[in-house]
Structure 1
Amino acid sequence: MEYDRLIILPCHSIWKGQDTQHSQGQNSSEWFLASFQVEGQDHLCFIDHIKRSFEELKKSPRALLVISGGQTKSEAGPVSEALSYYQLARRILAGPEFNALFDRVVLEEYARDSLENVLFSVCRFYEITASYPEFITVVGFEFKRTRFLKYHLVEALNFPDSRVEYIGNSPTPGSDIDHEHYFSSLEASEQKHALEHFETDLYGIRNPPGEKGTERPIQEASRV
Structure 2
Amino acid sequence: MTHSIRSSTLVMFSGGRTTDSTLSEAESYQQVFQGINLSVNGSSLSMGRTAIEDRATDSYQNLLFSILRFRKLVGQYPQTVTLITHAFKERRFPELHAAAIKWPRSRLRVQGINPPFTLEELEQTQKGELERAHTLFADDPYGVRPPLAAKRKARKWTPQMIAGLAVEKEAQELLQWTGGENGSEVFPGKLPWEEE
Alignment partner, residue 146 of structure 2: 207
Q: List alignment gaps of at least 5 residues for structure 2.
A: 157-196
Equivalent position to 2:111, from 167, 187, 205: 167
Question: Is residue 101 of structure 1 aligned with residue 50 of structure 2?
Answer: no
Say which SS state the counterpart of residue 138 (structure 1) adopts. Answer: strand
Deviation at 1:146, TM superposition (A): 0.6
Alignment partner, residue 123 of structure 2: 184
TM-score by length of 2: 0.69
Q: Comparing both chains, which one has the higher relative contact order based on Cα–Cα distances under 8 Å and sequence gaps of 6 or more?
A: 1
Alignment partner, residue 68 of structure 1: 14
Alignment of 1:44-55 (within 5 A): none
Question: Is residue 142 of structure 1 aligned with residue 81 of structure 2?
Answer: no
Deviation at 1:213, TM superposition (A): 2.2
Say which SS state the counterpart of residue 189 (structure 1) adopts. Answer: helix
Question: Is residue 193 of structure 1 aligned with residue 119 of structure 2?
Answer: no
Question: Is residue 131 of structure 1 aligned with residue 76 of structure 2?
Answer: yes
State whether residues 37 and 45 of structure 2, in contact with CA within 8 Å, keep that contact through their aligned partners in structure 1. Answer: no
Alignment partner, residue 157 of structure 1: 101
Moved more, 137-146 or 84-93: 84-93
Distance (whole Å) between structure 2 residues aligned to residue 100 and residue 196 of structure 1 = 36
Distance (whole Å) between structure 2 residues aligned to residue 139 and residue 89 of structure 1 = 13
Query: What is the percentage of aligned positions where both structures have the same residue?
Result: 30
Deviation at 1:180, TM superposition (A): 2.5
State whether residues 66 and 108 of structure 1, in contact with CA within 8 Å, keep that contact through their aligned partners in structure 2. Answer: yes
Alignment partner, residue 117 of structure 1: 62
State whether residues 71 and 214 of structure 1, in contact with CA within 8 Å, keep that contact through their aligned partners in structure 2. Answer: no
Q: List alignment gaps of at least 5 residues for structure 1.
A: 1-5, 9-56, 174-178, 217-224
- After TM superposition, which residue ranges in structure 1, 4 or more long, deviate above 6 angstroms? none
Give, as a single letter, the amino acid of the residue that structure 1 aligns with 2:120. Answer: H
State whether residues 122 and 132 of structure 1, in contact with CA within 8 Å, keep that contact through their aligned partners in structure 2. Answer: yes
RMSD: 2.4
Distance (whole Å) between structure 2 residues aligned to residue 100 and residue 182 of structure 1 = 34
Distance (whole Å) between structure 2 residues aligned to residue 100 and residue 116 of structure 1 = 24
Give, as a single letter, the amino acid of the residue that structure 2 aligns with 1:142. Answer: A
Question: Is residue 80 of structure 1 aligned with residue 24 of structure 2?
Answer: yes
Alignment of 1:38-49 (within 5 A): none
Deviation at 1:82, TM superposition (A): 1.0
Alignment partner, residue 19 of structure 1: none
The number of equivalent residue pairs is 150
Say which SS state the counterpart of residue 148 (structure 1) adopts. Answer: helix
Deviation at 1:100, TM superposition (A): 5.8
Relative distance call for 1:105 and 1:191 in structure 2 (3 A) is: same
TM-score by length of 1: 0.61
Deviation at 1:143, TM superposition (A): 0.9
Give, as a single letter, the amino acid of the residue that structure 2 aligns with 1:182. Answer: E
